[in-house]
């Protein structure tokens, strides 16, 4: 198979051989011992200190008998000064003149031994005494430069390329690396918070025979040995509750969920939700707990509870406002949903321009009103409480109003981030609610819940009063890292599979008698299929190929017209 290489790639590949001829392995195997890194040097500068550092060589500035470059390691960038007399102390200056100046490239991994100093321009740098090539880069990275005002030039910004080649994005865009480091800090802070309270981190099945715990379309697959359909989980709620039945006081899981639905800047087919269930608690407790947890996460991961998101500042430090669904709708529409029936709600929806259809029950209608008129207004963290019973089939009825449930959602910047219940633990009610869902399904709701008989059986054995909460980790990370797209907080967001141009195979060409050394060049010269070759005049092919040979200075025998005639006959 032929790989199409750009001129720069060819230069870099050729440098591999030149290095080997000099006895330098471009991909050495041995461990390289490191004593420092960019952040340590910059954070604790000691003039003249000897260091050994590693990283990618960036932005090489050749000044004749000396060169400057930056080395990028996982902690940041540090300047390196490579002086011909320091790096080649003896008579033989060929290492600097040939290797450093011509065979090293932007993006190569190198190890540097040297002493710390400060340049005339005032930049802390490493004065190199030795340089070891650790790995060649044969494909040039995008060149992104930052000037003295911090302005970024020629930024690598194309989202398609950035998401498909995250490895390049991470090398070249410092902000991207920071986002992912912060993501991990956020997750660690949550874990630390839960562990400190004595709750148990658990793993439950990703591959499930019944996709329960949420209303969503699952991905389906098939288990061969059992010969049954299987689903990738859409939620882990029902499994965690089984564990509460089993006697744990508190369990949580960072759950990778999969939903076979639309994709856009806030939805990826797989995403992460942290769910936690704590026995003997209710949703009021869970609100306090969630608030405290988020404050802990902000402080630990960001060092502040005041977070910038776009033009807005979100304050996690102040107590979160708590507004019931009814109050929220009253506040933003002037309409009181209390005691209204389906017909009245439907009429109100139409009056404010919300499309309604037959499949919508009371819960759905209320949800539509909230989504259209209220949701976007809650910029600061706000708990919306007491949702209608129809839209919460796994949630306990409200202690003071059976039409409502003990549920809250946490809204941040007008988006739902967390969802929590006083969990329904009455198995009789739970069965009835599942049956309600089935009816909705029959009315046309294509994502009503499946009935999980085993889960009902578990509840029949008795589940203590429990509060559960789920928080969208990706969304939370988006808010805390000031990113507007979920793709920015997932290392490898889902994209349509990339098509790679696979060049024609030289085998077919060799088979008709073309010499092996010529086959590749015949293709590169434009005859990339046998049909093209055979439909061309032999004299034209002959001239084209020898012209190509001359242009590319190929040191292979010229093609004879008789050969060409033989190939195409």
Partner RNA sequence: GAUCUCGUAGCUCAGCUGGUAGAGCAAUACACUUUUAAUGUAUGGGUCCUGGGUUCGAGUCCCAGCGGGAUCACCA
245 or 271, CB closer to RNA? 271
- Closest approach of Cβ 494 to RNA, in Å? 9
Residue 370: exposure state from Cβ atoms within 10 A (0-12, 13-18, ≥19): buried
Strand-pair partners of 359 = none
Long-range contacts: 157-163, Cβ < 8 Å, 24+? 159/485, 159/487, 160/495, 163/487, 163/492, 163/493, 163/495
What angle do helix axes 538-551 and 516-524 make, rounded to 10 degrees? 90
- Closest approach of Cβ 81 to RNA, in Å? 6
- Closest approach of Cβ 561 to RNA, in Å? 26
Give the torsion sign (CA, 295, 301, 304, 309). Answer: negative
- Closest approach of Cβ 458 to RNA, in Å? 23
**381 neighbors 393 (Cβ within 8 angstroms):** no
379 or 401, CB closer to RNA? 379
Q: How far is CA 167 from CA 9, 142, 552, in A?
A: 18, 12, 33
123 in helix, strand or coil?
A: coil
- Closest approach of Cβ 50 to RNA, in Å? 15
156 or 527, CB closer to RNA? 156
- Closest approach of Cβ 214 to RNA, in Å? 6
Residue 369: CB atoms within 10 A of its CB come to 22
267 or 431, CB closer to RNA? 267
- Closest approach of Cβ 215 to RNA, in Å? 6
* Strand extents, DSSP E, 199-305: 200-201, 207-208, 220-223, 228-232, 250-258, 270-279
125 or 346, CB closer to RNA? 125
- Closest approach of Cβ 474 to RNA, in Å? 6
163 or 193, CB closer to RNA? 163
Q: How far is Cα 275 from Cα 255, in angstroms, rounded to an integer?
A: 7
- Closest approach of Cβ 524 to RNA, in Å? 10
171 or 279, CB closer to RNA? 171
Q: How far is CA 279 from CA 78, 144, 245, 346, 421, in A?
A: 52, 53, 9, 38, 12
110 or 279, CB closer to RNA? 110
What angle do helix axes 325-333 and 362-369 make, rounded to 10 degrees? 50
Tokens coding 44: 């604790």
245 or 365, CB closer to RNA? 365
């Amino acid at each position: 198979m032929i790989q199409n290489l750009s001129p720069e790639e060819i230069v870099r590949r050729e440098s591999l051989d030149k290095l080997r001829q000099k006895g330098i392995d471009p991909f050495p195997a041995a461990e390289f011992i490191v004593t420092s890194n960019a952040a340590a040097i910059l954070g604790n500068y000691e003039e003249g200190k000897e260091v050994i550092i590693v990283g990618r060589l960036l932005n090489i500035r050749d000044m004749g008998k000396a060169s400057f470059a930056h080395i990028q390691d996982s902690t940041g960038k540090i300047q390196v000064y490579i002086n011909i007399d320091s790096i080649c102390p003896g008579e033989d200056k060929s290492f600097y003149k040939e290797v450093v100046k011509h065979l090293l490239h932007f993006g190569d991994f190198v190890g540097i031994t040297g002493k710390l100093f400060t340049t005339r321009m005032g930049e802390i740098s490493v004065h190199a005494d030795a340089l070891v090539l650790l790995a060649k880069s044969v494909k040039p990275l995008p060149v992104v430069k930052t000037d003295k005002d911090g302005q970024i030039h020629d930024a690598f910004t194309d989202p398609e390329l950035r998401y498909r080649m995250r490895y390049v994005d991470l090398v070249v865009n410092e902000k991207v690396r920071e986002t992912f480091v912060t993501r991990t800090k956020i997750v660690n802070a949550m874990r630390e918070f839960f562990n400190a309270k004595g709750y148990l981190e658990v793993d439950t099945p990703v591959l499930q025979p019944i996709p329960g715990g949420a209303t969503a379309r699952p991905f389906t697959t098939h288990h061969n040995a059992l010969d049954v359909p299987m689903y990738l989980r859409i939620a882990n709620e029902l499994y965690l509750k089984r564990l509460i039945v089993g006697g744990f006081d508190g369990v949580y899981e960072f759950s990778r969920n999969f939903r076979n639905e639309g994709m856009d800047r806030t939805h990826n087919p797989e995403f992460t939700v942290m769910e936690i269930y704590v026995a003997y608690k209710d949703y009021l407790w869970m609100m306090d707990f969630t608030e405290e947890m988020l404050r802990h996460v902000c402080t630990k991961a960001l060092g502040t509870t005041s977070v910038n998101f776009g033009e807005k500042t979100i304050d996690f430090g102040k107590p979160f406002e708590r507004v019931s669904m009814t109050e929220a709708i009253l506040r933003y529409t002037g309409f009181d949903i209390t005691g209204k029936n389906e017909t009245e709600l439907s009429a109100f929806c139409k009056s404010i321009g919300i499309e309604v259809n037959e499949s919508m029950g009371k819960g759905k209608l209320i949800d539509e009103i909230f989504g259209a008129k209220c949701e976007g207004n809650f910029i600061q963290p706000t708990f919306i409480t007491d949702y209608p019973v129809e839209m919460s089939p796994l949630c306990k009825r409200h202690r003071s109003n059976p039409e409502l449930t003990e549920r809250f959602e946490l809204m941040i910047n007008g988006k739902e981030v967390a969802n929590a219940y006083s969990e329904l633990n009455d198995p009789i009610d739970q069965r009835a609610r599942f049956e309600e869902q089935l009816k909705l399904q029959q009315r046309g709701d294509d994502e009503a819940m499946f009935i999980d008989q085993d889960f009902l059986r578990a509840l029949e054995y008795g589940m203590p009063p429990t509060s559960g909460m789920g928080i969208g980790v990706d969304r939370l990370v988006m808010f805390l890292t000031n990113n507007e797209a979920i793709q920015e907080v997932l290392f490898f967001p889902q994209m349509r599979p990339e098509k790679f141009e696979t060049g024609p195979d030289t085998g077919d060409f060799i088979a008709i008698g073309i010499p092996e050394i010529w086959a590749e060049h015949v293709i590169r010269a434009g005859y990339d299929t046998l049909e093209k070759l055979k439909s061309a005049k032999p004299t034209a092919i002959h001239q084209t190929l020898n012209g190509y040979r001359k242009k590319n200075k190929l040191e292979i025998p010229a093609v004879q017209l008789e050969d060409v005639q033989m190939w195409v006959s």
